[in-house]
Structure 1
Amino acid sequence: MTRYVRLLVIAGACVYASAQSAQLPLGPSTFTAPGTFPTSLYKAYYNNPTATSAQPQPVILDPVSHKIYPFSLTNPERIPQSNTQDPHILPPPASDALLLQNAISQITALAANPVFANSTCALCQATLEVAKFLALAAPTQGPAFAVALCTQFKLSSTCAATYGPTALGAVLTQVFANADVGGYDGQMICQNFLGGACAMPPTSQLDLTGWFAKPKPNPLPPPKKPSGERLKVLHLSDFHIDPRYATGAEANCTSGLCCRANNFNTLSPNTTLSAAPRFGAFKCDTPLSLAAAALEAIPVLAGTEKTGFALTVYTGDLVAHDSEPQLSRDYILYTETLVYDLFKRTLGSGPVYAALGNHDSYNQAQDATHSLGGQLAQQFSWNYDHVAALWQYEDWIPESAANLARAHYAGYAVERKDGLRIITLNTDFANWFNYVNLSHPDTSGMLRFLTDELQAAEDAGDRAWIVGHVLSGWDGTNGLENPTDLFYQIVDRFSPHVIANIFFGHTHEDQLSIFYANNGTSIAADTALATAWMGPSITPLTNLNSGFRVYEVDSATFDIVDAHTWRSDVSSYPALDAQTQFGPTYVYEYSTRAAYGADIPWGANDSLNATWWHHVTEQMEANSALVTTFHGFQGKQSVRTQPCTGDCIEAKICYMRSGSSTLSIQNCPRGFGSVQGG
């Protein structure tokens, strides 16, 4: 075992040499965590935290609600199968007048819809018509209809569990009751959720009249002068901590989340084919042992043990990939309390600016728009109130920002004293509630909030960072076309003089998007405006290594001068079970500047801005080996990443140049976005 660790140190030193010459010093190139769990992290446990046969189960006290979460919430041996405790809100019954109004409007929409030449789409939308009127007239029957719809269209093998009254059935009933199922909303539902029954409708024509309070300055204000002083900024994403991780359970299950006591490999149901290592596996989320090891490694490797980070951006997804029946409000609140407390006590004194991920909610991935009105508009406020209070309790954001988070789906803005404005968004652009009035690109008002904050930043002469979870572009499979199209225009309006950087997560992979002027109609170095960095995940799910990133940021411009990424080889974890001396090893993976900039004439202190990244894509067009390098980094050098050849090369470059789903769908080859196939 000792020899193995030494080999990692030697390998790490080779790729780390370029970072040692950087202006901002880092720590050692490699860190191996202790093999035993650091029991001092918590005052009390429900089990023996030093045992290697089970994951530690700390006793968690919520500082907001003052509630102690019971062991039954996270007991890996008894995972709940149905949440009947929390409310599952249904829309109120409609009046006869409203039924008549909707009947007339839907008949009109159906008669005017040219898509009905397609019989499959016609059938799908007609089915949704039935769902709509049932949801309006008898909402209590909506979940049962959702189950029938799932069965009819063969959407799942667990229709009752997924779409029943204690799962997503109530959500779908609300959507059916409010959506224009005979028009654009229905087409998109049939395309994205009902087996592609309808063709993808084109992005709606965007009318920006009156959207911006002021035109873009011409000429732009002079750029801020770099200070030469660099800040260390940590980017963490997609922790997906699994408090129900069962060490020794099946790590190669055939459905659902693996490393769970209730999930098996159906090919050999009575035998464990691949026992879950205590530090994690490729088809599993993050056990507490891996989370502790990563958080112990980060300050050492970044060289911030004594100073802390200037700030940290966390781009969402705290909660594990539990199936809907295993989730509950308490499970979400527990996870938020656990992870943010860990960040506070391990990362140092710098603030953490966090965005809500699509998994950080119950029902999963849902955020109801305020436009629904009444109690439906407030049905997720319990979560926004909780995270806002936690962020304020940890002293990361002031009361004013916490109040913004409560009112804006956990999105907020912080006007820092150093001239940087942090704007965090709830970017869950593809949840069910966004399929109500989908032809409007901002039904939630989130992008209105963003625009107003950017205008305030421009007026104040501030630079701005945008922090979200679901990315707006790349391969077009994540954000919806209309809202990401509007987001792109907002980025265009306020770049490059206001927006310094954009940060996303969600995919678990190391990716990047470039935004260009005039909606990407001219792809060139002189039209490149802004960059979105997608942070690598801590979770290995699926077929990935665990990783994190640290940016070198100029303290005056808040531009990124270099970015350093570390990874931990998940394929090495099974060998760690036989001993308790060593835990996971995190090794230096690469410097962004060194990996991609060898042939780009760029000053040592010039920022890695959108222009630089466009030059990188030009180098990729000339030398496909650079795409191979990017592809390897995308999965954090996982042994399960398959090669990128043929059309994949062109696709990767195109994805990097696509900051909206619309651009990617229009311009890029399909099917090469992820490396998680294994």
Structure 2
Amino acid sequence: MIPASMQARCTPVSENRYLPSKVPKYKRMMSKCGTVDFAAIGCSVCKVVVSGLQNLVRKKSTQEDVVIFATEICKVFRIEDSRVCDSITVQFKDELFGVAERLSLTPAQACGILIGTNCGTPDDPNVMWNVTMPNTPKPPVTPPTPPKSGALKLRMLHLTDIHLDPAYATGANTDCGEPLCCRKPDGIAPSTKDGAGKWGSHATCDTPFITLDSLFAHLSSIQDQFDYVIFTGDLPPHNIWNQSRTDQLTSLQTYTKLFKKYLPKKIVFNALGNHESAPVNSFPPDFIKDNQSISWLYEALADSWGTWLPKTARQDILRGAFYSVSPSPGFRVISLNMNFCNNGNWWLLINTTDPNGQLQWLITELQKAEDNNEKVHMIGHIFPGSSDCLKAWSWNYFKIVNRYESTIAGQFFGHSHSDFYEVMYDNVNFTRPISVVYIPGSVTTFTNMNPGFRIYELDGFYNGSSWAALNFQNYFLNLTDVNVSNKPNWELEYDAKADFNLTNLYPQEWDNLINRMKSDDNLFQKFYRYYMKSAPAAKCTGDCKKNLLCDLRTGRSHDPSLCANI
């Protein structure tokens, strides 16, 4: 049972410090009760859950007992309404039970990993593990230089976070009190203004098929404006309490068919999102076998991604949904499975050390690329500086980027739904910008945003190319307009160099932009408007502004020292 002292009503606090409007409850990482610090409450709940699950395992309880316990936790702490609580605990019972029966950490240690060291400091030295770097010395760093006049260029389309919702319904309730609204089960809204728009809604709603189909039709009409595509994950909708493996595979099949229909001649490089599994965030490492294994998804990914990748990539995709391919001489794309850094992936509590050996594999691939004078684009879903990314994984990745800064020409991630970036700095004194992580806005409207996509202009396709991003343009669909006109117009939102007055897109220039926005509030508010994908939003001031500027400097997670000068 849950201690009576903890059965308090809590006012939810959004994990996103910059969204002025409501955020779905399942996104709420912690709560705030009165004047009590919300981090302490989140920590207490976490410890109750871990302790309760471990007690159930020690008593040799059944999975049904786990469901009853987890459902009670969900309802007592008002994490969701009863309908969602009853369903979501069934979704997660295999993972909860499977992790609890293998977990050697104490509740404080486990929650210290999941929430932060304010919740408990893990004694296990493997929690802050280190990858092994090669003995090959780091080559001298050559400052980036613009390509010569007339040099060949490429253009790359970047899509991320589609979250197609087959159950989206025009006129449905946009404020249903659950993690995802605008759906058939939510019923018709009490008034027209509260109903879901035909093309999407500025609410806790995902992408209707008509909007996604319109996007692909538009991309087909402008396909001469980009040479290839990257997609950085998240296909299914946010109804995480009611999903099956069949649902997730259907999302993957729909996505693959859209590309084959509208862009059959384009190569697509994919990365795995955290929503592709059932349940969400559940990506067991390779030591988890039998019916709890994730092989069902990796096999489907290998088939889908194999539409565009060489057969040599299949083995690594089956191993861990990551791969390394060279589509042209001097250039390589490395796709990472960022669920191996995801703090929502509870399987990692069993052993957080370099799941499936992915980072050690990455070092080997980057060393080969360096030896062969290749430039590399890194793609993935959860961006490395995200608070969702486990500290040890993120810090090791940061160290790898530092070692191979002359080889890594670009980093492209998703997950945020908002449009922003992260600057990575040298790990000597953390002042020299060495790399930029690009995070464009999502296709989905979730939450309170317009749909969008990005096209980069790259230096490329000639001997000695830097393969660096030279500029990019963001495009969006104005939901307010299209829901009135019924005529979708995917229009230019902004041009990076022109709208932010950038000389180039090198790391130093993005660092300079952070400093400029500190003192120029008009410039910052323009940046924030694009961060919100030009959807209606209040101004971002005070702590909102400070926190967002801080995140632009935070290329590795859980390191507040990077923001000392913000």
TM-score normalised to the size of structure 1?
Answer: 0.70
Q: 1:255 is matched with which residue: 178, 198, 221?
A: 178
Q: Verify the 8 A CA contact 1:655 1:668 in the aligned structure 2.
A: no
2:398 corresponds, among 488, 500, 508, to: 488
Alpha-carbon distance, 1:222 to partner: 8.8
Correspondence for 1:416: 327
Pairing 1:183-202 to 2, within 5 Å after superposition? 185-188=109-112, 191=115, 198=119
Spell out, residue by residue over 1:76-97, the C-alpha distance to the aligned partner (whole angstroms, 9 max, x if none): xxxxxxxxxxxxxxxxxxxxxx
Q: Deviations over 1:557-595 (max 9, x none)?
A: 11000001111111223313xxxxx52112111110111
Distance 1:481 1:349 in 2: 40
In structure 2, what residue type is equivalent to 1:338? T
Amino acid at match of 1:150: C
Q: What is the identity, as a one-letter code, of the residue corresponding to 1:361?
A: S
Counterpart in 2 of 1:541?
446
Q: 1:635 aligns with which of 517, 532, 552?
A: 532
Residue 412 of structure 2 corresponds to which residue in structure 1? 503
- Report the CA distance shift for 1:171/1:593 in structure 2 as closer, same or farther (over 3 A): same
C-alpha displacement of 1:491: 1.2
Shift of 1:461: 1.4
Separation (CA, whole Å) in 2 of partners of 1:656 and 1:422: 24
Q: Give me the whole-angstrom Cα distance separating, in 1, the residues matched to 2:544 and 2:43.
A: 31
**Is the contact made by 2:51 and 2:107 (CA closer than 8 Å) also made in structure 1?**
no
Partner of 2:336: 425
Other-structure match for 1:575? 484
Q: 2:21 — aligned with what? A: none
Cα 1:649/1:467, change in 2 over 3 Å: same
Q: CA deviation at 1:197?
A: 9.4
Alignment partner for residue 161 of structure 1, among 64, 81, 86? 86
Distance 1:592 1:225 in 2: 16
Q: How far has the Cα of 1:328 moved from its partner?
A: 1.0
Provide the residue aligned with 2:7 in structure 1: none
Q: Pairwise mapping of residues 308-457 of structure 1 onto structure 2 (< 5 A)?
A: 309-325=226-242, 327-372=243-288, 374-375=289-290, 379-392=293-306, 394=307, 396-408=308-320, 410-428=321-339, 429-437=342-350, 440-457=352-369
Partner SS, residue 320 of structure 1: coil
Would you say the 8 A contact 2:99–2:346 is kept in 1?
yes
Residue of structure 1 aligned with 2:61, choices 132, 135, 138: 138
Give the equivalent residue in structure 1 for 2:4: none
Give the Cα–Cα distance (whole angstroms) in 1 for the partners of residues 250 and 123 of structure 2: 41
SS in 2 for 1:390: helix
- Paired-residue identity, %: 26
In structure 1, the partner of 2:430 is: 522
Q: Which runs of 5+ in 2 are unaligned?
A: 1-39
CA distance in 1, matches of 2:136, 2:438: 27
| Deviation digits for residues 323-368 of structure 1 (CA, Å, limit 9, x no counterpart) | 322x111111111111122123323522111111111111122100
- 1:174 is matched by which residue type in structure 2? G
Contact map agreement 2:553 2:562 (CA 8 A) in 1: no
- Mapped partners of 1:375, 1:348: distance in 2: 36
Aligned to 2:388: 478
| Residues 1:232 and 2:143 aligned together | no
2:489 equivalent among 574, 585, 588:
585
Deviation of 1:202 (Å): 11
RMSD: 3.2
Q: Tell me which residue corresponds to 1:172.
A: 96
1:209–1:660 Cα change, 3 Å: closer
Aligned match of 1:242: 165
- Quote the residue 2:219 is aligned against: 298
Q: CA deviation at 1:162?
A: 4.1
Q: In structure 1, how many angstroms separate the alpha carbons of the residues matched to 2:565 and 2:516?
A: 20
Distance 1:120 1:313, change over 3 A: closer
SS in 2 for 1:244: coil
Alpha carbons 2:114, 2:344 under 8 Å: kept: no
| 8 A Cα contact 1:206 1:486, kept in partner | no
Which residue of structure 2 lines up, in the alignment, with residue 48 of structure 1?
Answer: none
Counterpart residue type for residue 547 of structure 1: G
How far the C-alpha of 1:219 sits from its partner, in A, is 2.1
Count of residue pairs the alignment pairs up: 515
Whole-angstrom CA distance in 2 between matches of 1:186 and 1:386: 32
Q: CA deviation at 1:459?
A: 1.8
The whole-number CA distance in structure 2 between the counterparts of 1:597 and 1:619 is: 11
Work out whether residues 109 and 121 of structure 2, in 8 Å CA contact, stay in contact via their aligned partners in 1.
no
Conserved 8 A contact 1:203-1:482: no
Q: 2:370 aligns with which of 448, 458, 463?
A: 458
How much has 1:180 moved relative to structure 2? 3.1
* Deviation readout 1:140-187 (Å, 9 max, x if unpaired): 3333333344345544333752453x3111111112122233166423
Q: Does the 8 Å CA contact 1:472/1:479 hold for their aligned counterparts?
A: yes
Change (3 A) 1:458 1:189: closer
Match of 2:23 in 1: none
Amino acid at match of 2:357: G
CA displacement at 1:668 relative to structure 2: 7.2
Contact 2:156 2:227 in 1 (8 A): yes
CA 1:197–1:609 in 2, change beyond 3 Å: closer, same or farther? closer
1:181 partner amino acid? L
- Give 1 or 2 for the bigger CA radius of gyration: 1
Shift of 1:215: 4.4
For 2:516, the aligned partner's letter is: Q
What SS class does the counterpart of residue 178 from structure 1 fall into? coil
The structure whose RCO (Cα within 8 Å, separation 6+) is larger is 1
Q: Equivalent residue for 1:274? A: 194
**Counterparts of 1:122 and 1:288, CA distance in 2:** 41
Structure 1, residues 627-656: CA drift from partner, whole Å, max 9, x if none?
A: 1111011111112x2201223333322211
Contact 2:110 2:122 in 1 (8 A): no
Alignment gaps of 5+ in structure 1: 1-117, 577-581, 671-678
Partner of 1:212: 133
* CA 445–148 in structure 1, closer or farther in 2 if over 3 Å, else same: farther
